[in-house]
Amino acid sequence: MTTIAALLAEKAAERPDAPLFLLPASVQALWGAKACWSYGEVQAEVARLASAFAAAGYGPGHRVALLLENRPEHFLHWLALNSLGISAVPLNPDGSAEEFGYVLGHSGAVLAIALEARAGHVRTAAAPLGLPVIGPGEVPPPAPAAPGGQTGEEAEAALVYTSGTTGKPKGCILSNLYFLNWGRWYAAQGGAISLRPWAERLMTPLPAFHVNASGHSFMGMLTTGGAQVIVDRFHPRNWWYEAAETGATCFHYLGVMPAILLELPEGPEDRAHGMRFGLGGGVHPDHHAVFEARYGVPLLEGWAMTETGGACVLCAWEEPRVLGSRCIGNPARPGPAMEARVVDDMGADVPDGTPGELWVRAAGDDPRRGLFSGYLKNAEATAEAWAGGWFHTGDVVIRDAGGRLYFNDRKKNIIRRSGENIAAIEVEGAVASCAGVAQVAVVAMPEPLRGEEVLAVIVPKTGQDEAALAQAVFDRCATQLSYFKVPGVVVFVDSLPTTSTQKLRRADLGALAEAPLAAPRSHDLRARKQGLRARSDQ
């Protein structure tokens, strides 16, 4: 099997009546959609759409932008385009006209398909480019001549732009093999994460323009004959009810989701579901065991990147699991074979127990096989990412003697204070455990004497005395962390900048970090911190 569309055709021929997409009643009402799409129905609609695209002249080498939210239409159009060798460029529904303009222009898309309610910014961005914009139910206009290109597993299936937490987003070229590997990885796993053929129903609130939902979730279900339970977004109060309603057996999550679900009042719905596991990343260590005990669902922490896909993905499903440790799994796992190293800033391997950057590659003769095919129009960034024949993830991990990896932080988020390396995520965990803190981001601020100091940017819960909360945060961190990791400055804000996938946009905190004490809600705790050091030296 060499394309995503060919895999669909094979599965539809095997069991045409099996469900592929399931929608809870609330989503059906919101979108005016039906409850279920079977494999056979999806295949028939994909063939109909593909015929229309082909008749209009679309073919290999073309790219078509899609803004269809999480709806089945997103997957239907993507599969139809894939069957013709056309690459999809998914757009973030919450994007601005400026952001759309960059992606549409940079990608060279020849058509955009957008929901009418979301099409305004797309049309604004497309007009200067002379790019046609149509709705999902419209006949595609005539296409420019198809430039031609690769076919089969190495052909481009999607061009997915990174979230752009720093600078302009980069367009990741993703092949059919990239997506097929997602499904093959999922199908090969064991233990709590094992997928039963034609039996699983995976519920994900994550956006379809992101590879977690379109790659990991969808390809896992398509490969094993499962169904994707589609919701418009994460609705915590409906979560367990809709899981029971749709018969969901597993789900994907972001780290913030377990924390939000734990804030719900306890009730019979906590266990009135058939969820076998949740797969995701970033659950707060203090929430891990608590969540599993309350809801009866193991949270299996994993790791992957848009660039690595299913060729290099990790999941900590092997028993005995180490809850609350940020363990992300062992590279010596089933599925497409991968290799991994943990290295220092010079690219030398570090001893077990020592933080270092994670480098990965596919095993075998071609280290890039099945990973992203490169950054579009950015050979320099591609070469930099692959320096030395390994993909440099930018993630700092710690390897134990058994080969398991534990997530430490993004390399660029390491704060270097007086020669000590401090992981922002570790400090964030300590701050977040303090009552009164709703959200927190920890970043480096320039400090003449020590190079950098720890700055905690906090969204307080309603009704907090901020001066008292700043002191409480300091006290809490002082009991959990080495003195040098305790925040030296705290600044309170109303909200934190995030991407549409709820990733913190740390770059947007740059101006605040340059002069945090100029902020009206800042609290300088460095004198107290110096006192901690004095006590630690005694």
Cβ atoms 123, 97 nearer than 8 A = no
Which distant-in-sequence residues (6+ apart) come within 8 Å of 256 by Cβ? Answer: 282, 502
Burial class (CB in 10 A: 0-12, 13-18, 19+), 530: exposed
Count of CA atoms in the C-beta half-sphere (13 A) of 189:
29
35 alpha carbon, distance to own chain's centre: 27
- pLDDT by 10s per residue, the chain, length 538: 799 999 999 999 999 999 999 999 999 999 999 999 999 999 999 999 999 999 999 999 999 999 999 999 999 999 999 999 999 999 988 888 888 999 999 999 999 999 999 999 999 999 999 999 999 999 999 999 988 888 899 999 999 998 654 457 899 999 999 999 999 999 999 999 999 999 999 999 999 999 999 999 999 999 999 999 999 999 999 999 999 999 999 999 988 899 889 999 999 999 999 999 999 998 989 899 999 999 999 999 999 999 999 999 999 999 999 999 999 999 988 887 899 999 999 999 999 999 999 999 999 999 999 999 999 999 999 999 999 999 999 999 999 999 999 998 888 888 888 767 788 888 999 999 999 999 999 999 998 778 889 999 999 999 999 999 999 999 999 988 888 899 999 999 999 998 766 778 888 888 899 999 999 999 999 999 988 866 655 4
Per-residue DSSP letter, 263 = T
Query: Distance (Å, rounded) from C-alpha 194 to C-alpha 315?
Result: 12
Which residue's entry shows tokens 């910014």? 121
Per-residue DSSP letter, 343 = E
Q: Which of 529, 453, 443, 452 is nearest to 493 (CA)?
A: 443
Write out 399-428 in H/E/C secondary structure.
ECCCCCEEEEEEHHHEEEECCEEEEHHHHH
Cβ atoms 535, 528 nearer than 8 A = no
Query: Distance (Å, rounded) from C-alpha 435 to C-alpha 427?
Result: 15
Written as six digits, the tokens of 236 are: 């915590």
Query: Distance (Å, rounded) from C-alpha 370 to C-alpha 177?
Result: 6
Say if strands 201-204 and 227-230 run parallel, antiparallel, or are unpaired. parallel
Number of neighbouring beta carbons within 10 Å of residue 139? 9
Q: Kindly report the backbone phi and psi dihedral angles of residue 100, in degrees, each rounded to the nearest multiple of 5, phi listed first.
A: -60, -40
Query: Distance (Å, rounded) from C-alpha 35 to C-alpha 40?
Result: 15
- Report the topology of domain 418-536: GMP Synthetase; Chain A, domain 3 (3.30.300)
163 three-state secondary structure: coil
Q: Which of 99, 83, 232 is nearest to 171 (CA)?
A: 99
